[in-house]
């Protein structure tokens, strides 16, 4: 998934009246303003009420829904195409602009995207884009085990935006991933 494809996807969504916020690795690179590593996918937070338009826009670009993705809906919808994967995080917005991602089918577990953290702007392929704030990117990275790309992203967030502890501070003493 290169920067040109990201821009193409965002333009298609915009043409369908869909707002999207870049999350994950491309979200970090958007904040930094340059591509700093290879990306296999594009993570996007979108308004769940606009999901039908999102799917139509992505299908027009050759993406198809991946029914094997876990977790699936309502937490996320993954669409795969010849040139990459789009990992959609559907959000329900409350009256104050906070986005809420339903994490399970029961509706008892929700992830919060605070309104203030949805105001960040970045650049991908020379285009201004909406993305998650550096602080929210850091917080979301703390919710799972990291791979090399995640450690790269965490270092960038700390070095460029001074959010949270350093990667070395987050790892146990003696951990060779420092």
Say which CATH number the domain at 60 has. 3.30.460.40
Instruction: For residues 111 and 7, give the distance between their C-alpha atoms in angstroms, rounded to a whole number.
Output: 27
Six token digits for residue 166: 């350093």
Expressed as residue numbers, the domain containing 112 is: 3-162
Whether 178 maps to a domain, the answer reads no
Residue-wise pLDDT for 74-111, tens only, equals 999 999 998 899 999 999 999 999 999 999 999 999 99
Secondary structure of the chain as H, E, C letters: CCHHHHHHHHHHHHHCCCCEEEEHHHHHHHHHCCCCCCCCEEEEEEEHHHHHHHHHHHHHCCCEECCCCCCCCCCCEEEEECCEEEEEEEEEECCCCCEEEECCCCCCCEEEECHHHHCEEEEECCEEEEECCHHHHHHHHCCCCCCHHHHHHHHHHHHHHCCCCCHHHHCCCCCCCC
In a domain, 177, yes or no: no
pLDDT of residue 168: 60
The verdict on residue 172 lying in a domain is no
* Encoded tokens for 153: 């992203």
Average pLDDT over residues 8-35: 96
Is position 48 within any domain? yes
Counting the structural domains of the chain, the total is 1
The answer to whether position 169 is within a domain reads: no
- The pLDDT, as a whole number, for residue 178 is 47
Residue-level pLDDT at 82: 87
Instruction: Tell me the pLDDT of the chain averaged across its residues.
Output: 91
What digits encode the pLDDT tens for the residues 118-161?
999 999 999 999 999 999 999 988 877 888 998 899 989 999 99
User: Looking at the domain assignment, is residue 174 inside a domain?
Assistant: no
* Assigned domain for 173 exists: no
Quickly count: other Cβ atoms within 10 Å of residue 158's Cβ. 19
Report pTM: 0.90
CB 106, CB 99: distance < 8 Å: no
* In-domain check, residue 168: no
Q: Are 131 and 31 in contact (CB under 8 A)?
A: yes
Token pair recorded at residue 157: 């967030």
Whole-angstrom Cα distance, residue 103 to residue 108?
8
pLDDT score of 165: 63
């Amino acid at each position: 998934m290169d920067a040109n494809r990201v821009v193409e996807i965002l333009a298609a969504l915009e043409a369908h009246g869909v707002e999207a916020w870049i999350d994950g690795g491309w979200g970090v690179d958007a904040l930094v303003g340059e591509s700093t590593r290879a990306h296999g996918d594009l993570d996007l937070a979108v308004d769940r009420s606009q999901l039908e338009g999102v799917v139509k826009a992505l299908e027009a670009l050759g993406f198809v829904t991946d029914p094997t993705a876990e977790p699936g809906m309502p937490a996320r919808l993954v669409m795969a195409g010849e040139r990459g994967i789009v990992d959609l995080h559907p959000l329900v917005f409350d009256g104050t602009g906070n986005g809420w991602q339903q994490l399970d089918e029961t509706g008892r577990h929700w992830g919060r995207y605070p309104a203030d953290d949805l105001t960040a702007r970045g650049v991908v392929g020379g285009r201004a884009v909406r993305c998650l704030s550096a602080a929210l990117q850091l917080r979301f990275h703390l919710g799972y085990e990291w791979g090399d790309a995640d450690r790269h992203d965490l270092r960038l967030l700390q070095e460029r935006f001074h959010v949270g502890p350093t990667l070395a501070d987050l790892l146990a003493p003696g951990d060779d991933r420092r």
